[in-house]
Structure 1
């Protein structure tokens, strides 16, 4: 099973944004940081999950994925398959499409304090922008 921690951050809302992805896989750790451009914090959270899924498609095809995020909005949307805000609908659809390429995809909400690595990586991306 691949453990994936994601976080999105923005400096301002909207503002320069970044995504952090921290992956524990087969005794190894991957730390990835992505500059996202200007968007809201919630959009950055969705994009962080999308970026992580893209990495998993490339590096861990066919694996069981266990994602963790401190964004209740994203976790609830993925769990229920529903989001009200039209801005997030295509992002949720893209997450569902990518997640369907794996035999099992789980996502769980965790408190922010349990997500320090992904948070650090998201903030690094903002600093690079």
Structure 2
């Protein structure tokens, strides 16, 4: 099973944004700090999950994925596979398309204090863009 921690951050809402992805596979781990442009905080959180799914599809095809995020909005939308928010619908559709490539996908909300690595990576990504 692959454990994936994601976080999105914005400097302003919307503003310069970045995503952080921390992937654990047993004793190995990978980190990604990616500037993504100008987004709201919620959009950055969704983009963190989408980018992590694409990385996993490339590097860990067919694996079981266990995602963790400190964004209740993202976790709720993906767990329910539904949103009324028109801004979230394209993110949900793309995420569901990516998730279909894996036998099992789990996502769990975690408190910010348990997501420090991904948070640090997301904030570093904002500074890379500046």
TM-score bracket relative to the smaller structure: over 0.9
Structure 2, unaligned stretches of length 5 or more?
Answer: none
- The answer for the alignment partner of 1:66 in structure 2 is 66
TM-score normalised by the chain length of structure 2: 0.98
For 1:112 and 1:74, the matched residues in 2 are separated by 14
- The TM-score normalised by the length of structure 1 is 0.98
Q: Does 1:54 align with 2:69?
A: no
User: Number of matched residues?
Assistant: 129
> Which consecutive segments of 4 or more residues in structure 1 shift more than 4 A?
none
5+ unaligned residues in a row in structure 1: which ranges?
A: none
**Which residue of structure 2 aligns with residue 85 of structure 1?**
85
Q: Partners in 1 of 2:80 and 2:34 — Cα distance?
A: 27
- Counterpart Cα distance in 1 of 2:127 and 2:56: 25
CA distance in 2, matches of 1:24, 1:92: 24
Cα deviation 1:26-85 (Å, max 9, x = unaligned): 321100011110010000000000000010001000000000000000000000011111
Equivalent position SS for 1:20: strand
